[in-house]
Amino acid sequence: METKAIPDYPRGVTFEQVWAILQEVSQSQKETDRLMKETSRKMEETDLQIEKTSRQMEETDRQVKETSRQIKETDRQMKETDRQMKNYDKRFGDFTNRLGEVVEHMIKPNLRKKFSELGYDFQIANSNTEISDFKNNIHLEVDVMLGNGDIAMLVEIKTKLTISDVKEHIKRLEKMRTYANLRGDKRVFLGAVAGVVIPKNVKKYAIDQGFFLVKPSGETFNITPPSDKPKEW
């Protein structure tokens, strides 16, 4: 006859209590399993995120290298553009100087005749007059200076005349007046400006400042008197 072994429970602990403990252990094990699965899932997500971040870092590194390459290429292009601009400026400067000389040679020979039509009899016409008074710090250059003993006309010739050129000519005449006073020169100084291209606002400004305006017209040139009495220095 088979005899069943009866579990030896600790004294004072009932079967119901033991069963309840086993149920709690089983529930705890289930929760542990759930937590482990959740942890495993999170670890997988973390691995995916790390892999994604790694790919992004690789892409960023590639973009940084590409950007660096583009910057170097842009720098090279800018240096080449700068070189071309300097070469252009030199050629344009040479062209402007030659054109200015041509304009000067066109205008100078007939200036006295044209001004005689306006009542000014100039016997003298000098080109590229340069004054350097180091003692009194007076330095100026005049493209063409016309004179008759009592009056001198200072003519500034530009390819394209600007308001800045007109202002500089005013300063030139002021220096001339100062220089003449130091030498006891009592001549009256007048001003004229000439240009192949003269914008309307520059033309008005020059005339309003009391200058004669010299502008080519066809094969010759015209002189426009100041809007009021010519300014004297």
Q: pLDDT tens-digit profile of 74-111?
A: 888 888 877 777 765 565 455 455 555 655 666 677 88
Structure tokens belonging to residue 145: 């200076």
Q: What is the pTM of this model?
A: 0.57
Counting residues of the chain whose pLDDT is more than 70, the rounded percentage is 83
pLDDT at 211: 97
The answer to whether residue 163 sits within a structural domain is yes
The answer to whether residue 218 sits within a structural domain is yes
Per-residue confidence at 39, pLDDT binned at 50, 70, 90?
confident
Across residues 30-49, what is the average pLDDT?
83
133-151 b/e with 16+ CB inside 10 Å = b? eeeeeeebebbbbbbeeeb
Burial class (CB in 10 A: 0-12, 13-18, 19+), 100: middle
pLDDT at 102: 56
pLDDT at 95: 47
The answer to whether residue 11 sits within a structural domain is no
- The full DSSP string for 50-115 is HHHHHHHHHHHHHHHHHHHHHHHHHHHHHHHHHHHHHHHHHHHHHHHHHHHHHHHHHHHHHHHHHH
The answer to whether residue 122 sits within a structural domain is yes
CATH number at residue 144: 3.40.1350.10
pLDDT at 13: 65
Domain encompassing residue 175: 110-224
pLDDT at 133: 92
The answer to whether residue 13 sits within a structural domain is no
Rg, Å, the chain Cα set: 48
Return the closest-CA partner of residue 199 out of 187, 189, 207: 207
> 127 near 107, Cβ under 8 Å?
no
Q: How far apart are CA 52 and CA 119, in angstroms?
A: 91
Q: How far apart are CA 59 and CA 30, in angstroms?
A: 43
The answer to whether residue 102 sits within a structural domain is no
Q: Which of 138-142, 162-166, 216-220 has the lowest mean pLDDT?
A: 216-220
- With a CB cutoff of 8 Å and minimum separation 6, the contacts of 90 are none
Q: pLDDT tens-digit profile of 206-218?
A: 999 999 999 877 6
Q: Is the pLDDT of residue 31 over 90?
A: no
The answer to whether residue 152 sits within a structural domain is yes
Number of domains in the chain: 1
Q: How far apart are CA 230 and CA 224, in angstroms?
A: 11
Per-residue confidence at 202, pLDDT binned at 50, 70, 90?
very high
pLDDT at 216: 77
φ, ψ (nearest 5 deg) of residue 60 = -60, -45
The answer to whether residue 147 sits within a structural domain is yes
Q: How far apart are CA 65 and CA 72, in angstroms?
A: 11
